Amino acid sequence: VDGTVNLLKAASDSNVKRFVYAYSCAAYGDITELPIKENHPLRPMSPYGVSKLSAENYVRIFHDVFHLETVCLRYFNVYGSRQSHNQYSGVIVKFLENLKKNRPLTVFGDGEQTRDFVHVRDVADANVLALKANDAVGKAFNIATGEPTTINDLGKLLIEITRRNVKIVHSQPRKGEIKHSYADISEANAKLLYNPKVTLRKGLEELAKDYGVLE
């Protein structure tokens, strides 16, 4: 949060024309209505989500009080080329690492939880659009595809794409995990002219090639 505030101060003091704040849909927290619209209550369920919401509030203050042009972008599940593998990696990278080693794909719970996977190229396009759109200032937008994908279906699609003979195994559900999460992107479409172009299959094929799982 401190880093965001420092950047906001520097932008305001330097007469920067527009400040785009990109962060996570974790700020929504407990989901009560699907698809998720920008006016959905923000009730983060983790310290990470709380920090993102706190930073968004600072962005709003700098717009309302100091008249800095700001746009907030709430990213959903971003994936794509050069995505690193570490303890914080998303499910796609973890699945690819297992596929590379011909190991089963571990799914927590029944696997019917949904996520909205959006390719990094579409996310990059959204940032450029946010810098230019006349009707975006002072607003927040969902950056996603608007398409829900179950974790089971994600695993099956990756197995199909990579042609690996592995199974999906189910483990105990994780406490506090959000069951369903996918976005309504109509506001981003209308105000930013945002229109995601990379299909999940195409994006996964590219990433699988990067990981050496698909020739």
**165 vs 94: CA distance, rounded Å:** 17
What does the block give as tokens for 145?
């595809």
**114 vs 39: CA distance, rounded Å:** 20
Q: What is the DSSP letter of 36?
A: B
Q: Torsion angle of alpha carbons 84, 36, 48, 137, nearest 10°?
A: 90
- How big is the chain, counted in residues? 215
**60 vs 207: CA distance, rounded Å:** 36
Place of tokens 């919401």: 53
Residue 201 and residue 159 in contact, taking contact as beta carbons nearer than 8 Å: no
Where do the H-state alpha helices sit in the chain? 2-13, 47-64, 91-100, 120-132, 151-162, 186-187, 200-210
Identify whether 48 is a catalytic site residue. Answer: yes
Amino acid (one-letter) located at 210? D
Choosing from 21, 28, 48, 75, which is the catalytic residue?
A: 48
Q: What is the DSSP letter of 27?
A: G
Give how far the C-alpha of residue 73 lies from the chain's centroid of Cα atoms, to the nearest Å: 10
**Active-site residue list:** 48
